Amino acid sequence: MTAPERPSASAFVYPWDVNGDPRAPERIAALGVRQATLASAYHSTRALTPRHPRHRVVTARYAAVYYPAGERWAGRALRPYQAGDWAPGDAYAEAAEALAGAGLDVHTWVILAHSSRLGAEHPETSVVNAYGDRYPWAPCIAQPATRAYLTDLAAEAAVRPGAAGTELESLGWYGLQHLHAHDKTAGVGLGDAGQYLMALCFCPDCRDGYDGQGLDSDELAAAVRRALEPLWRGTAQDEGWPTVEKSLGETVAAATRAWRDGRARTLQEAAVAAVRAAAPDGFQVLLHADPVAYHCGANAGVDPAHVLSVADGVVVPCAGGTALLAPFAEHARADTVLAANFTVVSGMGGSPGTLAADAARARELGATELRLYHAGLASDADLAAVRAALR
């Protein structure tokens, strides 16, 4: 009996994992991957570089682009920030050329609605919760100026010279769950319902949006605060969306979803269209996505049928199991890319030793490709396990 074809795999990588380390491209290619998904626009982070000959820790102090930003930003208040010394000049192009030289296809990795510096310098762009607290890491995707910024950033950061495709992350609503510096938010388990309620935005544009859905935004904010009280007391029962409906009432809950889902869908449509307009024929566009539409975060909550009608496919988080693949597989076309994303860094909760079995389960559920997070962060032992799995 002939063994089934193994799904092709791509490893995530930062420019600083490659630049200055002449052995990095061949080491990544030797994992058995066909592609490198290389960050061209990324949020602030502090990253270990276990094998780099010049450093062991890289501190990317703010969200930035890793190439020279274009003329389209001249005179605009909202514009991407150039990286500092962690990715100077055209760091993306330097790394991409080296990876391509090792025989790897290179796709861009673009982080969009996630920037603490944007929120700090332009606080009016941030999500505002029902208590009036701003989330500076989370741009409100309902605001016209923010939507224009994100759409143009998607097109520019995605379509870099030599890239054959892109993966757009954080193209949707962000909530409370972002890990901030010295994070102290785990004292109360919010659950899915609490995360949604704490993510509802009450900036002026969203207030107008709720009013347009027949809601009174002040009354809605008060209702959200009341609904969250059991969480703070430690008496809440979380059943996900049914709990939101019970807390706000089905009609009110549905109206909030109508506003937020509509803003997310039209932004995704606009961003993908902008990328396609700037890209050559055959350029692949994927979204990092969660099939539970009311979820927030880096893997944007989407309606599977809709997002697969817009993009060429999705990258699905599978660190906690492969169940999230199935809703997308139900709507996949013959040419749809359904990439199962596995963490292969043991220190971050990954399990590279089970990658072969995990990949087999993912394929049974419709996965066509694998994504491996993250070639630059993993230990030598983790990378050896990946090589064995992909052999």
Q: Tell me: the pLDDT tens digits for 83-116?
A: 999 999 999 999 999 999 999 999 999 999 999 9
> pLDDT class for 7, splitting at 50, 70, 90?
low
Domain locations along the chain: 8-184+259-390
Average pLDDT over every residue of 295-319: 97
What are 182's two structure tokens?
């010295």
- Whole-model pTM? 0.96
Identify the architecture of domain 8-184+259-390 in CATH: Alpha-Beta Barrel (3.20)
% of the chain surpassing 70 pLDDT: 97
Please say if the pLDDT value at position 4 is more than 80.
no
Average pLDDT over every residue of 201-212: 98
Collapsed DSSP state (helix, strand, coil) of residue 54: coil
Measure the CA–CA gap between 115 and 194, rounded to whole angstroms: 23
Average pLDDT over every residue of 244-251: 97
Measure the CA–CA gap between 244 and 255, rounded to whole angstroms: 12
pLDDT score of 1: 31
Average pLDDT over every residue of 160-185: 88
Q: State which amino acid sits at residue 189.
A: G
Task: Write down the mean pLDDT value for the chain.
Answer: 95
Measure the CA–CA gap between 318 and 87, rounded to whole angstroms: 29
What is the per-residue pLDDT across 261-293, written as a single tens digit (0 to 9) for each?
999 999 999 999 999 999 999 999 999 999 999
Strand 126-128 versus strand 134-139 pairing type: antiparallel
Strand 64-65 versus strand 134-139 pairing type: unpaired
Q: State which amino acid sits at residue 233.
A: R
Q: How far, CA to CA in Å, does 364 sit from each of 4, 32, 67, 100, 173?
A: 11, 21, 39, 31, 30
Please say if the pLDDT value at position 312 is more than 50.
yes
Instruction: Please enumerate, as own/partner, the contacts of 222-226 that have beta carbons within 8 Å and a separation of 24 or more.
Output: 222/130, 223/247, 223/248, 223/249, 223/252, 224/130, 224/197, 224/200, 224/248, 225/130, 225/131
What is the per-residue pLDDT across 174-197, written as a single tens digit (0 to 9) for each?
998 777 776 777 777 789 999 999
Measure the CA–CA gap between 328 and 330, rounded to whole angstroms: 5
Crossing angle of helices 217-233 and 191-199, rounded to 10°: 140
Task: Average the pLDDT over each of 51-60, 233-242, 325-334 and give the range with the smallest value.
Answer: 233-242
What are 110's two structure tokens?
């673009």
pLDDT score of 384: 98
